[in-house]
Structure 1
């Protein structure tokens, strides 16, 4: 059993200072660079550098807050495959995991495109919750028409707020 050592406030501050100085030194020496990069990227890189909206969940949630889009019951999965850049698709709704929206790189081409994609896919989530997977798949054309109408209507509403 380890014995717990109680430190005075002065000792705790000194210990904290010591640990922080070791961390700072390890950053300079490159020790922290092995494994995963802990610093967040503020912009897209590589094949995604032409996309204007950062491909990050926090950016998605910030935009949803900005336009007052309710995301309760929705989870976002960002698909980061470079192959998806060539496709004319912006997102999809997972029929097996109702509430999950997959966002493809093209959705991040502009804030407007991202908002429209989220609204469109949110409509599909609502359809699946209301009608179920079987009905939605059997009436795919109708579901798609409704989603485009929903997207147009709500995009005009959220951008006027």
Structure 2
């Protein structure tokens, strides 16, 4: 589905969800963002954005696996706020972006795309892009929920 056909929020959510699910099985590769070749969680988000919006979102630059622990800046959360609409953390609808932090005192470090209120697509380190259940262990780590912007 191209950006020209996205006339409403529901169509946008469907396009995002469809594209995210098409990445399932893509191997995990740190800093990569190529469907069926390799990606990390941020690469999954960047790849879905590229397909749906037909352009790149801001480039994050190089980042180490421990960037969030060493920088203490909440770069992922700040970027989500720049490009998306922040929603209540209870707004767990398909096509929404969800950010996680491993510990409450650390910056958000992981991102996924909700398939509904109980599951999300994400790139799992050491594995691949998968759909995971939003079990209590994941829910406790939610740092933010965001709606992708409507095309202009």
TM-score with structure 2 setting the length: 0.24
Larger radius of gyration: 1
Greater helix proportion: 1
Name which structure has the greater RCO, CA cutoff 8 Å, separation 6+.
2
TM-score normalised by length of structure 1? 0.23
